[in-house]
Every structure is written in structure tokens, then in C-alpha cells.
Amino acid sequence: MKIPPVKGTRDFYPPDMAVRNGIIDGWKRASIRNGFEEYDGPIFEHLQMYQIKSGDEIVEQLFSLEDRGGRALAIRPEITPTLARMVNQRINSLSRPIKWFSVPRLCRAERPQKGRLREFFQWNIDIIGVDDVLADAEVIFTTVDYLREAGLTAGDIRVKMSSRRLLAAVLRSIGIAEAELDSLYVLLDKKGRLPAETFKELLAERVSDVGTASRIEAFMEASSVSGVRQAIGAAWNDEVAEAINELSQVERLLKEEMGVGEYCQFDPCIVRGLAYYTGVVFEVHDIVGELRAICGGGRYDNLLGDFGGGAIPATGMGMGDCVLEILLAEKGLLDRQISGGGLDYFIVFVPGLKFDGPGDVASTSRGQAVRLTARLRGLGRSADFSYKAAGVGKQLKQASERNARECIIIGDELRRGKLVVKDMSTGEQRLVGMEEFLSQLKP
């Protein structure tokens, strides 16, 4: 019986796995050098967890299941609710700031398309317990620090930043009612992905006053933090000024102190789809602009409270592997993510060759190959040999396919206790005593 894989999932054959490991190792390295510690939660949680704050889109895309007791569960579509649960559970014993990262496997029942799969990996970094824009800047710096190490330059990508606080202040200042903010965010978040006319129509449906709607549009077209004043004109007030000041501080930190200003720009169209953001928000986009956002994040000061904890400030970022991998491939950077690979030694035996001399050399060339391989592995070296009694030439070819750095040939020389060691990059061969060779390999 032949059964296909589930649509929208991926099989990782060894070459695909090498790419996935390369990307995830890069995420982990960047997290660790920026001072984050790794955590993880279960692959499923109670379904309710995702009905609190994840936003309608995610709730619709849940893979839900039941346990044997009939409890409603769901495979995690994001890890932030788990993070909130875990932090709340130990809020009194965790030392602050909580600076954590994770690389969860997530599932969403989306229609599979370019850069969107039903199952993917997402790098998450979060700083909890710090009510200072320095933490927002740290999250953005760490994101750029990874992307830069992966080989992406300021000519390839751009961090687009704005602030929910600023957006809320502007919308309030021009007369939008508090109760309408959340649903307006959802629309404004889609501006970049909708045709200009469609956006205009949808905005007019929600904001009937033409002057108010055009002010919103003017704000969303502001190209710098300082340009906001001009865009909103008379609606300027202290609340807006404070939000602007906060965002300017983030810009200054990223540029002056952290040296990544060239990657960053203000963009008031950045709103983020998720309901829980409260302050600075950002997304990273490819400059060509053909792909979805590479990642997104921001401040979510109320989320831990929403999950039954105290009011604790928090800010974070999530980056999926799908869009990133497409961009790295487009830029020819995929190969450089892959590290290591290849065997230290491939042991070649001479089929049919028998040793029956005195001393410890007994049995066959093949038996000696098995024996030497086991000893090399015991010394921590990667080593392998052919399970088939193929000719020496064929075995050397196999060694080369396996990217072995050296081949060790067990030939007649072993009667004198010697091995032939062949350097696979230069082709040079040398004759060494077996025990001498092994004693030089430190465990």
C-alpha cells in the first residue's frame, strides 16, 4: 500500500536536512551570542490557549485534536502563548530579564503556497520584564545580527519599524473611537498586500468621514519619524509626541550604538496581524519586495496578564524558515548555511585478502576494516567502510561520494603492521604504522 505525504508538509532528505540544520544552527548561534537562553514547550496545548489572543486568522488555521479524555487540544500554531504560560507558571522564581529563544516546529492549516506551508520552523526570541525600548532595539539587533551572518546585506533586506502605540495615538487624535482600533489594525495591516484602490474602498467603508480617512492615508505614507508631524497636522498631541520620541530612541540605538542603522527604516504601514502588540512593531522584508515578510515582532506588554499572570512588559520576534530559505536561495546563500558534513575516514579493504601471519593480525582485510572503523569511532572520529565486497577502486569512489577527508587502505602492508593513508583532497598516500597512527589520535 502506497500512501503519500500530507499536502503542505515537507520530507527532509539528508540534503534538505543539511539546509534546515544550517539555518537552525545559525538561529541558535545568533541567539546565544546575543545572550538568549533556549526553551521549548509541548507540540500541543489545550485548544483554549489559542482562542485567547492569537487573532482570528490563526484560530481558523488550528489543527485541533482530542485526547482520550475528550479534552480539546491543538497543535501549536505559534509558541508565544506557551511562552506566556511557562513564564506565568514560574514568575516568582525566574530571574529577570527573561531573555529566551526557541525554534519550535509549528503547524497551521493554511492553503499551501509560496513561502507558506502547513508545517514550518520558527525562530522566536523574547525579552520579558524590561520596560525600556533598549529591549526592543536588542530584539531588532539580534534579528539583523543573524541575517547579516547568514550573508544578507542592507542591499538585500530592510527592517521596517513602526509602533502600535504611535498608531493608536494618531488614530485617537484624529477621532477614531477606542472600540474600533483593533478591527482597524487588521485592515491597515493589509495595506501593503492590497491594491491601492481596494484599500481605499475598504478604509472608506470603515471610516465614513473623508477627511479622517485621508489623514490616516497621509500618516501611512509618512516616510520618516519626523515626517509624521506634517502628515497628521493639527492632530498632533502629547500622546503622539511621546510615541514618536520612543520610536526615535529605538532608531538612534540601532544606528548610533548598535551600528545597524543602514538596515532599518521607519514605515507606518507596519501594523502586524496579531492582536496582542502594544508598542514598537517591525517586520523584515526583502528589498525587491516580492516575498512575504521574512519575520515580524514587537512589544506585547499585556499578553502575560491576559494569560492569567501579572502585568509584565515583553517584546519579541518570530522568523519562519520558509520565506527565509527562498530568499537565501535567490541570493545564492543557501550553500554557505551548511557546515561540516563528510567523514573523517573511509576504510577500504581488499576483498578476499587474508592475513594468517603471527601476532595480532588475524582474519581478513574486511574484518580488519571493521575493527579499525570501530576503534576510530571509539576515538570520536567519524569513520565508515563498505558493506559490500566491492573492488578497491569502487570503494575509493564511494569514499569520495561520502566526502571522506582521508582513506585508509588495509592491504598487504598490514602484515608489517602498516596502513596506507590517502589524503582525498591532494591524492597523496603515506605509509604509517597502525598503532602509531591510532596513538596520535587523541580521544
Cell readout for 265 is 527604516
Q: Which helix (H) or strand (E) holds 375?
A: helix 365-378
**Rounded to an integer, what distance in angstroms lies between the CA atom of residue 178 and that of residue 400?**
67
Among 56, 57, 64, 354, binds a copy of itself (CB under 8 A): 64
Find out whether 303 and 275 touch, Cβ atoms under 8 Å.
Answer: no
431 binds a copy of itself (CB under 8 A): no
Q: Taking the complex as a whole, how short is the minimal distance between the CB of residue 389 and a copy of itself, in angstroms? A: 10
Chain-centre distance for alpha carbon 439: 42
Q: Taking the complex as a whole, how short is the minimal distance between the CB of residue 391 and a copy of itself, in angstroms? A: 16
Q: Which stretch binds a copy of itself (CB under 8 A): 105-113, 184-192, 320-328, 348-356?
A: 105-113
**Rounded to an integer, what distance in angstroms lies between the CA atom of residue 419 and that of residue 434?**
6
Q: Taking the complex as a whole, how short is the minimal distance between the CB of residue 413 and a copy of itself, in angstroms? A: 20
262 binds a copy of itself (CB under 8 A): no
**Rounded to an integer, what distance in angstroms lies between the CA atom of residue 328 and that of residue 80?**
26
Q: Which helix (H) or strand (E) holds 144?
A: helix 133-149
Q: Which stretch binds a copy of itself (CB under 8 A): 36-44, 226-234, 316-324, 432-440?
A: 36-44
Nearest CA-CA partner of 81 in 55, 118, 117: 55
Cell readout for 280 is 514598537
Q: Which stretch binds a copy of itself (CB under 8 A): 41-49, 160-168, 318-326, 416-424?
A: 41-49
68 binds a copy of itself (CB under 8 A): yes
Burial grade of 273 (CB within 10 A; 0-12, 13-18, 19 or more):
middle
Report the site for a copy of itself in 5-24 (rule: CB under 8 A): 5-7, 9-14, 17-18, 20-21
**Rounded to an integer, what distance in angstroms lies between the CA atom of residue 395 and that of residue 230?**
74
Local structure of residue 116 (DSSP, 8 states): B
Among 95, 183, 426, 440, binds a copy of itself (CB under 8 A): 95
Q: Which stretch binds a copy of itself (CB under 8 A): 129-137, 155-163, 227-235, 269-277?
A: 129-137
Q: Which stretch binds a copy of itself (CB under 8 A): 94-102, 188-196, 261-269, 429-437?
A: 94-102
Q: Taking the complex as a whole, how short is the minimal distance between the CB of residue 392 and a copy of itself, in angstroms? A: 18
Nearest CA-CA partner of 79 in 99, 101, 98: 101
Which of 221, 335 has the CB closer to a copy of itself?
335
- DSSP states of 398-432: HHHHTT-SEEEEE-GGGGGTEEEEEETTT--EEEE
Local structure of residue 95 (DSSP, 8 states): P
Find out whether 304 and 191 touch, Cβ atoms under 8 Å.
Answer: no
Among 56, 180, 182, 257, binds a copy of itself (CB under 8 A): 257
Report the site for a copy of itself in 176-235 (rule: CB under 8 A): none
If you search the block for the grid coordinates 472608506, which residue do you land on? 204
Chain-centre distance for alpha carbon 170: 33
Three-state DSSP class for residue 397:
helix
Q: Which stretch binds a copy of itself (CB under 8 A): 42-50, 191-199, 203-211, 324-332?
A: 42-50
Find out whether 199 and 248 touch, Cβ atoms under 8 Å.
Answer: no
Among 23, 26, 27, 49, binds a copy of itself (CB under 8 A): 49
Which of 45, 184 has the CB closer to a copy of itself?
45
Q: Taking the complex as a whole, how short is the minimal distance between the CB of residue 12 and a copy of itself, in angstroms? A: 4
Q: What track of x and - describes contact with a copy of itself for positions 373 through 412 (by CB under 8 A)?
A: -xx-xx-xxxxx--x-------------xx----------
86 binds a copy of itself (CB under 8 A): yes
311 binds a copy of itself (CB under 8 A): no
Local structure of residue 54 (DSSP, 8 states): S
306 binds a copy of itself (CB under 8 A): yes
428 binds a copy of itself (CB under 8 A): no
Find out whether 291 and 275 touch, Cβ atoms under 8 Å.
Answer: no
116 binds a copy of itself (CB under 8 A): no
Which of 81, 298 has the CB closer to a copy of itself?
81
